[in-house]
Amino acid sequence: NAGVTQTPKFRVLKTGQSMTLLCAQDMNHEYMYWYRQDPGMGLRLIHYSVGEGTTAKGEVPDGYNVSRLKKQNFLLGLESAAPSQTSVYFCASSYSTAYEQYFGPGTRLTVT
């Protein structure tokens, strides 16, 4: 099992450009999450999904959109990137809400 994978691992964008981060899991988990990690602030939840076709806002959703068209995939989109979105992005999945979340390796995004 690959677990949770993220594509790409690194990306540099110019302000105003758009991009999509892809998260895939092969553990048949219902729940998937997107976090961002900034220095000194731990991880903060951007959006999450409790099942195929569902999404919900987390703690810091502004400037991001998500989609969960297939159970195994969870996409995070930036429509118009801003320097404040420079961060490391983590995807995670879990069998159930209170169970262990399995994390992907992260994507380092720089917006100039």
Partner 1 sequence: AQTVTQSQPEMSVQEAETVTLSCTYDTSESDYYLFWYKQPPSRQMILVIRQEAYKQQNATENRFSVNFQKAAKSFSLKISDSQLGDAAMYFCASFTGGGNKLTFGTGTQLKVEL
Residue 88 CB, shortest distance to partner 1, in Å, is 7
Torsional class of 95: left (φ above 0), alpha (ψ -120 to 50), beta (otherwise): alpha
Residue 14 · residue 29 · CB < 8 Å: no
92 binds partner 1 (CB under 8 A): yes
103 binds partner 1 (CB under 8 A): yes
> Whole-angstrom Cα distance, residue 12 to residue 33?
22
What does the binding site for partner 1 look like in residue numbers (CB under 8 A)? 33, 40-45, 48, 50, 56, 58-59, 88, 90, 92, 97-98, 100-101, 103, 105-106
